[in-house]
A and B are shown apart, each in its own frame.
Chain A
Amino acid sequence: MNKWRRWKLFLMDHWVKAAIIFAAVLLVGFSWWGMASLESYYRNITLAQLPLQILMVIINSVIFVYMYMMVFQSGFSKMGNKKIKSNQVNIKFSDVIGIDEAKDECWEVVQLIKDHARLKKIGGRILRGILMMGPPGCGKTYLAKAIATEAGLPFLSMAASEFNEIFVGVGASRVRQLFKKAQRLAYGFGGCIVFIDELDAMGSRRTFSQFGSGEGNTTQNQLLVAMDGLSDKAENIIVIGATNASEDILDPALLRPGRFDRKVYIKKPSLEGRESLFRYYLSKIKYEAGIDCKRLARKAVDKSPADIENIVKESALIATRNKKEVVGLRDISEAIERIELGMKQKLTINAREREMTAYHETGHLITTYLSHPRDDVFKASIIPRKSSLGVVHPTSIEEWHGRDRETLFADIKICLAGYVAEKIKFNTTTTGVTSDFKQAMNLAHFMVWVLGMGPSGMIGDYTIYKDGNALLLSEDVKMRLNQDVDKILRECMAEVETLLLKEKDLFERFAHELLTKEELDYDEIEAVFAEFGKVNPRRSHLTQGTEPPKV
Chain B
Amino acid sequence: MDPKAIFLKKRDGLSGVLKGLSRFFIILPCIFLPAVISGCGSATYPEARCKEALQEIALKEYKIPHIEVEFVGTTLGVFLPLDKIFAADLKEALMSGKVTDMESLFQPTEEAIDKVENILFSMSRIMLSTDKKIDFYYLQATDVEKSGMDLTFIGQIDDLKRVRFWDIPRSEYRKRIIHDLHMNRAALWHRPVRHFFKDLNEATVKDVQDRYFPNTSQAKWAGEFFFTDAGGVEVSYGRAKWTILDLKSIPIQDNDIVVYAKVEVAPKDPKDTGLKPKVMEYLFQVSTAGDTEKIRRIIPMAYLDDKAATPDFTFTRDMVAKSLPNWETEFKTPDITTGDFLSRQFTRRFQMMAAEDERIANTFPTIKLVVRFEPPPQQCFLFNAVAPLRDPKEVAYTPGRGLHEDVLYFWDHVAREFVEVLRSYSFQDYKSLKFQLSQGGKLLTWTATREDLELFRRHKKTLQDILVLSVENG
Q: Which residues of A contact B20 (CB under 8 A)?
A: 65
Q: Are A40 and B129 touching (Cβ within 8 A)? A: yes
Q: Do residues A61 and B21 form an inter-chain contact, with CB atoms below 8 A?
A: yes
With CB as the reference atom, state the residue of chain B lying closest to A13. B1
* B34:A16 contact, CB within 8 angstroms: no
Q: How far is the CA of A69 from the CA of B16 in the complex (A)?
A: 11
Report how far A15 CA is from B6 CA in the complex, Å.
12
Given contacts A28-B31, A40-B41, A43-B41, contact A14 B1 (CB under 8 A): yes
Cα separation A73 to B39 with both chains bound (whole Å): 41
Interface residues of A in 61-76 (CB under 8 A from B): 61-62, 65, 68-69, 73
Q: Are A31 and B38 in contact (CB under 8 A)?
A: yes
A16 / chain B contacts, CB cutoff of 8 Å: 1, 3, 5-6
Tell me if B96 counts as interface (CB < 8 A to partner A).
no
Asked if A166 is at the interface of the complex by the 8 Å CB criterion, the answer is: no
Beta-carbon nearest neighbor of A34 in chain B? B35
A20 & B41 in contact (Cβ 8 Å cutoff):
no
- CB–CB B8/A39 < 8 A: no
Q: Closest approach, in angstroms, between the C-beta of A51 and any C-beta of chain B?
A: 10
Contact A24 B35 (CB under 8 A): no
Asked if A32 is at the interface of the complex by the 8 Å CB criterion, the answer is yes
Segment of B22-30, B104-112, B311-319 engaged in the interface with chain A: B22-30
In the complex, A46→B28 CA distance in Å?
17
Nearest chain A CB to B397 CB, angstrom units: 51
Closest chain A CB from B8 CB (angstroms): 7
Whether B310 sits at the interface, judged by CB under 8 Å, is: no
**Which residue of the partner chain A has the closest CB to B35?**
A31
Shortest C-beta distance, A39 to chain B (Å), equals 4
Residue B128 CB within 8 A of the other chain: yes
Q: How far is the CB of A38 from chain B (nearest CB, A)?
A: 8
In the complex, A52 has a CB within 8 A of chain B: no
Q: With a CB–CB cut-off of 8 A, which chain A residues contact B31?
A: 24, 27-28, 31
Mostly, the B contact residues are helix
Residues of A in contact, count (CB < 8 Å): 33
Q: Please indicate the chain B residues that have their CB under 8 angstroms from the CB of A54 in the complex.
A: 28, 32
Report whether A41 and B129 are in contact in the complex, using a CB–CB cutoff of 8 Å.
Answer: yes
B44 within 8 A of A: yes
Number of B interface residues at 8 Å Cβ cutoff, please give it.
33
List the A side residues contacting B41 at CB < 8 Å. Answer: 36, 40, 43
Identify which of residues 190-232 in chain B touch chain A, using a CB-to-CB cut-off of 8 Å. Answer: none
Q: A40 to chain B: which residues have CB within 8 Å?
A: 41-45, 129-130
Q: In this complex, what residue of B is CB-closest to A62?
A: B21
For residue A231, CB closer than 8 A to chain B, the reply is no
Indicate whether B95 reaches chain A with its CB closer than 8 angstroms. no
B71 within 8 A of A: no
Given A14-B1, A20-B6, A54-B32, also A35-B24 (CB < 8 A): no
A119 in the interface, Cβ–Cβ < 8 Å?
Answer: no
CB pair A39 B30 closer than 8 Å: no
Contacts of B34 in A (CB 8 A): 28-29, 31-32, 35
Contacts of B39 in A (CB 8 A): 35, 43-44, 46-47
Closest Cβ neighbor of B24 among chain A residues: A61
Of residues 1 through 58 on chain A, the ones whose CB sits less than 8 Å from some CB of chain B are 13-17, 20, 24, 27-29, 31-32, 34-36, 39-44, 46-47, 50, 54, 57-58
Residues of B within 8 Å of A42, CB to CB, are 129
Looking at the assembled complex, report how far the CB atom of A308 sits from the nearest CB atom of chain B, in whole angstroms.
47
Interface pair A39/B7, CB less than 8 Å apart: no
Q: Does A50 lie within 8 Å of B30, measured CB to CB? A: no
**Contact between B8 and A65 (Cβ–Cβ < 8 Å)?**
yes
| Pair B35/A65 contact, Cβ less than 8 Å | no
- Tell me the complex Cα distance, A387–B32, Å: 76
Whether a CB of chain A sits under 8 angstroms from the CB of B332 is no
Report A53 CB to chain B, min CB distance, Å: 8
Q: A39-B44, A39-B129, A40-B44 are in contact. Are A28 and B38 (CB under 8 A)?
A: no
Complex CA distance for A27 and B32, rounded to whole angstroms: 9
* CA of A50 to CA of B32, assembled, Å: 8
Tell me which residues across on chain A come within 8 A of B4, comparing CB atoms: 68
Question: Do the beta carbons of B17 and A65 come within 8 Å of each other?
Answer: yes
Query: Within the complex, which residue of B1, B17, B128 is in contact with A41, where a contact is CB–CB below 8 Å?
Result: B128
A58 to B28, CA, bound (A): 9
Least CB distance from B130 to A in Å reads: 8
Q: How far is the CA of A15 from the CA of B5 in the complex (A)?
A: 13
Question: Can you name the residue of chain A whose Cβ is closest to the Cβ of B33?
Answer: A28
Tell me which residues from 93 to 123 in chain A have a Cβ below 8 Å from any Cβ of chain B.
none
Going nearest first, the 9 A-B pairs with the smallest beta carbon separation are A41-B128, A35-B38, A39-B129, A47-B39, A31-B35, A40-B129, A41-B129, A40-B44, A39-B44
Interface of A with B (CB < 8 Å)?
Answer: 13-17, 20, 24, 27-29, 31-32, 34-36, 39-44, 46-47, 50, 54, 57-58, 61-62, 65, 68-69, 73
28 CB contacts below 8 A, A to B, read: A14-B1, A15-B1, A28-B30, A29-B34, A31-B31, A31-B34, A31-B35, A32-B34, A32-B35, A34-B35, A35-B35, A35-B38, A35-B39, A36-B41, A39-B45, A40-B45, A43-B38, A44-B39, A46-B39, A54-B32, A61-B21, A65-B8, A65-B20, A65-B21, A68-B4, A69-B8, A69-B17, A73-B10
Extra pairs beyond A16-B1, A32-B35, A69-B17 (16, CB < 8 Å): A14-B1, A15-B1, A16-B6, A17-B1, A31-B32, A31-B34, A31-B38, A34-B35, A35-B38, A40-B44, A41-B44, A41-B125, A44-B39, A46-B35, A47-B35, A65-B20
